[in-house]
Structure 1
Amino acid sequence: MVKFLKQVLATQLDVDLMSDKCGFLIEQLMELAGLSVAQAISKEYSPKQNQNILICVGPGNNGGDGLVTARHLVHFGYKPKLYYPKQPNKPLYQSLLKQCSTLEIPVIQNFDHGLEGIDLVVDAMLGFGFKPPIREPFGSVLKTLAKSGKPIVSVDVPSGWSVDDGPMDEHCVAPDMLVSLSAPKPCAGFFKGRFHYLGGRFIPRFLAEEYGLEIPEYPGSDQCVLIKSLI
């Protein structure tokens, strides 16, 4: 069984990963997370049928994961676009965005128009650090997505969901795929979509034992593993 990791423990796990205990940098964790998401997408959504992808990017680490995802998707044969309304003035995020621009990944300004012709939406807006209320423009984006009928891939925690308690209201997104990172959060128990993947093939064994995490077997050299049947 794959264990759920509550918000407080998920936050502490990230602290431990980036401490002297493990030595990771935030850039490394974002790279691993974004690669996991891109790999999961490539396994279930062929670029032939789902080439046009809109990635909704938030201002925090979840958004950073989305920027990395976009870059990898280009190399996997997709044509991603970014909706990135609140761009932090920090070197890390500016560098990730620059990497996307060198691959000619467009950044759209109008979300409603940006949905036209899109096959798949990646929700990388709020993440496990989210605490209500939902601020604009993300509140309006979530309402539009909930009514759009577009398949959605949520990164770690579906935007608008409580990390520990799941969907907060009828306007929350209902993702077709959830890619949990490091370990599934309790809200994953409310997930009713088709594909639940885990991207956590970087947690040292000693740290997994400390947190009581059961690390599933990852196939081959993959950075993600399908875990829906393991929870």
Structure 2
Amino acid sequence: MHVVTAEQMRAADAAAVAERGDVALMRAAGDAVAEAVRVLWPRARRIVAFAGPGNNGGDAYAALASAAEHAHLHARAREWIVYALAAASPSSGRRDAENRAQSSGIITRPFPRDAGEAERALEGADLVLDAMLGTGSRPDVPEPLRSAIEALSTSAVPVLAIDIPTGIDPTTGAVAETAVRAHATVTLGAPKLGLLLEPARGYAGSIFVGDLHLAAELARAEGTAFAALDTAEFLALLPRRGEEADKRESGAPLIVAGSEQFPGAAVLCAHGAARAGAGYVTVASSSDAAPALRAHLVEQVVVTFEEANVERAIDDLLDLTNRSNAVGLGPGLALSAATGAVVRGFVERLERPFVADASALFHLGKHLDILRGKRCVLTPHEREFARLSGEGTIVPGTRVARLRSFVARTGVTTLLKGNATLIDDGSTMHVNVTGSNALATAGTGDVLTGVIATLLSQGLAPVDAARVGAYWHGLAGREAAHQRPVGVMAGDVAEALGPAIPEPPERFARLVPLS
């Protein structure tokens, strides 16, 4: 699905308003938020909304009016209150929402003047709607909104943010000194880029996209195209084994990995490839790593190459690609000059799609020109990316721009690991929305390389293999953490790949679960 900057969202909104009118657009937004209230907090009786003076505040009125118009909720005893800052020049959409809310028995009161008044407004509430600024958020949140946020920060009442939590920059993900930390967010029309980036990501809670039917308007948005997978899209892209498929048709990746010092990296990469559904995994490694690999890899074929004889090693690896349909290259390889020569010579003549990680990135770092025209994915973490790009350490807030510049210069699809992981192919930048802090352990990147190698071997294009692999790997991290709250290891993540595949998502009228 589309992911947008604040500027792109404003342009899409303006185009939709010009075509449909802002009354229809705000009613659609209200319906989406009301659905989230019904789904997530079906027993909420006292709902309080903190509404700013703009259209974000109007969305709160529209949401409560929409909820009240559903008979099964309207009949229940309830007390729904909007604490609002008056709009100097309300839009027709906001006026319509206010009138509907008043007709539905929604109470309107002045916005709290200080933290004490805000705390009293929250007494007895089952749910708070944050509709103070939305995409108009800025670093210097003004009073009295700041005091309301401070009251929310000390309250146990759950918060549902409308569009984006107040205090979050919708484009960069920067967080104001005082910002709302929501339990869930309904982001309207499309996810805002900043909502998916650190540090804002930790303030959004569970993210749902309110569908306003803006696909045409979003597609016309100018500037960098951003996107994110949701569950339905992930399941649609994930390759499935045919009923009569043989083992090689199910994916036959060649894993070139491991060394005497780091045999485990090859083991983890091979397990990731196998658990991602490959039918035949071959592992090529140095001869001094072979005993350890053969002791741990029962279902995979282990072969060796001799780095000392560079040309022979390259020929042997290329011969193996005749029986494989993709390559995972790099985890645990030696950092020696001979191994570097093998890696570069192999890549230069390689015609299969491949994913390069870890030691392969080290060896290719000053020779990125040989990747031009190759079907490949690079998967650096931030330190590796700094070395690859030659531009030094990534400064917070610059990851998007740095990745876009690197891909434009090299023409290589690149997956930049982090929170959030970003994938760019020069056309669209994809933001991964899954993940877990359980993935912050040695070897999980090796598992990801194996997963992507299998997806490439099953026929996915490099950018699709990267974004599906990152999404799946993130789900597996969550599943592993669920199974083992403490002490998740990389092997646990590989084992969790199968159980992590979700069921098709429940279909809602206007909501799409994103994270």
**TM-score, length of structure 1 as denominator length:** 0.84
2:35 is aligned to 39
CA contact (8 A) 1:162 1:187 kept: yes
Deviation, structure 1 residue 208: 4.3
CA contact (8 A) 1:73 1:79 kept: no
1:151 is aligned to 158
Task: Output the CA distance in 2 between the equivalents of 1:84 and 1:45.
Answer: 22
Name the one with the larger helix percent.
2
Deviation, structure 1 residue 122: 0.4
1:203 is aligned to 214
Deviates more, 1:10-19 or 1:38-47: 10-19
Q: 1:85 to 1:203 in 2, by over 3 A?
A: closer
Q: 1:94 to 1:219 in 2, by over 3 A?
A: same
Q: 1:107 to 1:214 in 2, by over 3 A?
A: same
CA contact (8 A) 1:157 1:187 kept: no
CA contact (8 A) 2:164 2:187 kept: yes
Q: 1:122 to 1:88 in 2, by over 3 A?
A: same
2:510 is aligned to 223
Q: 1:220 to 1:56 in 2, by over 3 A?
A: same
**Secondary structure of 2:154's match?**
helix
Deviation, structure 1 residue 91: 6.5
1:163 is aligned to 170
Deviation, structure 1 residue 40: 1.3
Deviation, structure 1 residue 32: 0.4
2:3 is aligned to 4
Task: Output the CA distance in 2 between the equivalents of 1:125 and 1:172.
Answer: 11
Runs of 4+ in structure 1 over 4 Å off: 211-221
Task: Output the CA distance in 2 between the equivalents of 1:171 and 1:208.
Answer: 31
Deviation, structure 1 residue 31: 0.6
Q: 1:11 to 1:147 in 2, by over 3 A?
A: same
CA contact (8 A) 2:168 2:179 kept: yes
Deviation, structure 1 residue 132: 4.2
How high is the sequence identity, in percent, across the aligned residues? 23
Deviation, structure 1 residue 58: 0.9
CA contact (8 A) 2:134 2:165 kept: yes
CA contact (8 A) 1:74 1:80 kept: no
Task: Output the CA distance in 2 between the equivalents of 1:181 and 1:85.
Answer: 21
Which letter does structure 2 place at the counterpart of 1:64?
G
For the pair 1:172 / 2:179, whether they are aligned, the reply is yes
Which letter does structure 2 place at the counterpart of 1:122?
L
Deviation, structure 1 residue 220: 5.0
1:107 is aligned to 108
Task: Output the CA distance in 2 between the equivalents of 1:96 and 1:188.
Answer: 26
Q: 1:108 to 1:146 in 2, by over 3 A?
A: same
Deviation, structure 1 residue 170: 4.7
Task: Output the CA distance in 1 between the equivalents of 2:15 and 2:514.
Answer: 24
CA contact (8 A) 1:182 1:200 kept: yes
Task: Output the CA distance in 2 between the equivalents of 1:196 and 1:209.
Answer: 22
Task: Output the CA distance in 1 between the equivalents of 2:68 and 2:13.
Answer: 28
- When Rg is computed on C-alpha atoms for both structures, the one with the higher figure is 2
Q: Deviations over 1:196-229 (max 9, x none)?
A: 110124124x44443456796696560111111x
Q: 1:95 to 1:42 in 2, by over 3 A?
A: same
Task: Output the CA distance in 2 between the equivalents of 1:128 and 1:169.
Answer: 13
**Secondary structure of 2:135's match?**
coil
Which letter does structure 2 place at the counterpart of 1:107?
T
Which letter does structure 1 place at the counterpart of 2:190?
A
Matches within 5 A, 1:78-97: 79-90=79-90, 92=92, 93-97=94-98
Which letter does structure 2 place at the counterpart of 1:102?
S
CA contact (8 A) 1:35 1:223 kept: yes
1:123 is aligned to 130
- Picking from 131, 140, 144, the partner of 1:133 is 140
1:57 is aligned to 51
CA contact (8 A) 1:208 1:215 kept: no
2:474 is aligned to none
2:64 is aligned to 70
Q: 1:148 to 1:79 in 2, by over 3 A?
A: same
Task: Output the CA distance in 1 between the equivalents of 2:146 and 2:64.
Answer: 23
Task: Output the CA distance in 1 between the equivalents of 2:140 and 2:507.
Answer: 41
Paired residues, number: 221
**Secondary structure of 1:149's match?**
coil
Q: Deviations over 1:83-108 (max 9, x none)?
A: 10333343633442222122221123
Task: Output the CA distance in 2 between the equivalents of 1:201 and 1:174.
Answer: 24
1:191 is aligned to 201
Which letter does structure 1 place at the counterpart of 2:90?
K
**TM-score, length of structure 2 as denominator length:** 0.40
CA contact (8 A) 2:2 2:190 kept: yes
Task: Output the CA distance in 1 between the equivalents of 2:109 and 2:511.
Answer: 29
Deviation, structure 1 residue 152: 0.5
Q: Deviations over 1:141-183 (max 9, x none)?
A: 1111112122100011111111123352453111011111111
Task: Output the CA distance in 2 between the equivalents of 1:169 and 1:207.
Answer: 30
